[in-house]
Chain A
Amino acid sequence: MSLLEIRNLKVSIDAKSILRGISLKVGKGEVHAIMGPNGSGKSTLAQVIAGNESYEVEDGSEILFEGQSILDWSPEERAQRGIFVAFQYPVEIPGLSNLEFLQSAVNEKRKSRGESPIDLWDFEKMLREKMEEVGLNPDFVERSVNEGFSGGEKKRNEIVQMAILQPVLAVLDETDSGLDIDALKSVAEGVNKMRSPERGFLVITHYQRLLNYLKPDYVHVLYNGRIVKSGSFQLAIELEQRGYDWLKDEVVV
Chain B
Amino acid sequence: MSNGVLQSDSRKRLLPIEVPYKYSENKSLPDWFRKIIKDGLSAIEELPIPDSKTEGWRETNVSLFFNNRLKWQHLYFCQDIGGVKIPLIFSDNFPPNVIYFNRRVNKDGAIELEKKGVSIYTLSQRNFGEDSFLKTLLISEKESRHIFESVSRAFLFDGLVIEVPDNLVVEDPINIYFPVPEIKNHVIDTPWLFLMVGSNSQVSISVHYLDEREDVSNPIWVNASEIISLSHNAHLKFLSSISGSSSTYRYMSTAIQLRRDSSVSYNSLMMSGKFVRSELNLELRGENILSLINGVSLNESNNHSETQQLIEHLQSNCMSRINWRGIGKDESKTLYRGKIYIAPNAQKSDSIQLFKGLSLSDKAVVDAKPQLEIYADDVRCTHGATVGPPPQDLLFYFRARGIDAKKAKNLLLSAFVRQILAEIPFRNVENLIKRYLEVLYD
Taking beta carbons and an 8 Å cutoff, which residues of A are in contact with B?
50-54, 74-76, 78-80, 85, 87, 90-91, 93-96, 100-102, 104-105, 108-109, 112, 144, 161, 165
Contact = CB atoms under 8 A, between A and B. Distances in A.
Nearest to B391: A91
Interface string B404-424: 110100011011111100100
Contacts of A87: 397, 400
Contact of A52 (B396, B417, B419): B396
Given A74-B404, A105-B402, A91 B394 contact: yes
Q: Which of B399, B405, B417, B422 has the most CB of A within 10 A?
A: B399
B157 to A, nearest CB: 44
Given A91-B393, A91-B394, A104-B407, A79 B415 contact: no
Contact of A50 (B393, B400, B416, B422): B400
Contacts of A91: 393-394, 397
11 contacts: A51-B400, A76-B403, A78-B400, A90-B397, A93-B397, A93-B412, A95-B415, A95-B422, A101-B398, A109-B402, A165-B402
B401 interface: yes
A80 B414 contact: no
Contact-size category for B: 20 to 34
B402 A112 contact: yes
Contacts of A102: 401
Nearest to A106: B402
Given A79-B401, A105-B403, A161-B401, A96 B396 contact: no
B253 to A, nearest CB: 31
Contacts of B404: 74, 76, 108
Q: Which of B398, B405, B416 has the most CB of A within 10 A?
A: B398
Q: Which of B392, B396, B402, B403 has the most CB atoms of chain A within a 10 A radius of its CB?
A: B402
3 smallest A-B Cβ distances: which pairs?
A95-B415, A79-B402, A75-B399
A79 B411 contact: no
B415 A94 contact: yes
Contacts of A78: 400
Contacts of A90: 397
A76 B402 contact: yes
Given A91-B394, A95-B418, A108 B403 contact: yes
A36 B240 CA distance: 58
Nearest to A110: B402
B415 to A, nearest CB: 3
A135 B412 CA distance: 27
A85 B400 contact: yes
Contacts of A101: 398, 401, 411
A95 B414 contact: yes
Contacts of B422: 95
Given A93-B412, A144-B415, A80 B397 contact: no
A96 B414 CA distance: 8
B27 to A, nearest CB: 59
B324 to A, nearest CB: 15
A76 B397 CA distance: 10
B397 to A, nearest CB: 5
B136 to A, nearest CB: 44
A170 to B, nearest CB: 12
Nearest to B392: A54
A53 B396 CA distance: 9
A51 B400 CA distance: 8
A95 B419 contact: yes
Looking at A50, A74, A100, A104, which has the most chain B CB atoms within 10 Å of its CB?
A104
Given A76-B402, A104-B407, A105-B402, A93 B396 contact: no
Contacts of A109: 402
Contacts of A105: 398, 401-403
B352 to A, nearest CB: 17
B415 A96 contact: yes
B376 to A, nearest CB: 33
B400 A79 contact: yes
Contacts of B396: 50, 52-53, 75
B411 A100 contact: yes
B180 to A, nearest CB: 33
A104 B399 contact: no
Nearest to A74: B399
Nearest to B399: A75
A12 to B, nearest CB: 18
Given A96-B412, A105-B398, A105-B402, 4 more contacts: A75-B400, A78-B400, A95-B422, A100-B411
